[in-house]
Amino acid sequence: MTELPGVVTRRVLAVVPDLFFAVKIGAVARATGAAFDTVTLASALERVAEAPPALLIVDLHAPGDPPALVRALKADPRTRDVHVIGFYSHVETDLRRDALAAGIDEALPRSAFVQRLPALLAGDTRPSPKDDAE
């Protein structure tokens, strides 16, 4: 992405192992003017600490322990203020519960995440009242 002098580009990182879904998120990011990159679950803490993004997206189904990543991010003074949004299959409510207990800022069913994606990437990370009831 070409950056214009004096223009701040919103940086978004994502732990999304599904390549096809990551490409879709990247296309929406480009349309909203956000700089987008993917990271692995194992490298996420280090990458976020190096240069904190405006938003970190986490697939709560990613191999490994996504809630452990969220706990580590929220415990580290360098990364605790990074807004973290996770998405999950609507039938996996235990994942949502575990992510919220770990300190994630918001956990959305995948369908709600997709619906809100343009707004999220544009910087509107205010929780939707409807999402709280999911």
Domain ranges in the chain are: 11-124
Q: What percentage of the chain has pLDDT greater than the value 90?
A: 80
The string of pLDDT tens digits covering residues 5-45 is: 444 478 999 999 999 999 999 999 999 999 999 999 999 99
Residue 2 confidence (pLDDT) above 70: no
The predicted pLDDT at position 78 comes to: 94
The predicted pLDDT at position 124 comes to: 79
* H-helix or E-strand spanning residue 121: helix 110-122
**Under DSSP, is residue 86 helix (H, G, I), strand (E, B) or coil?**
strand
Q: What is the pTM of this model?
A: 0.88
The predicted pLDDT at position 130 comes to: 56
Rounded CA gap, 72 and 81, in Å? Answer: 12
| 11-124 maps to CATH 3.40.50.150 | no
Q: In what order do the strands lie in the sheet with 35-38?
A: 35-38, 11-15, 55-59, 83-88, 106-109
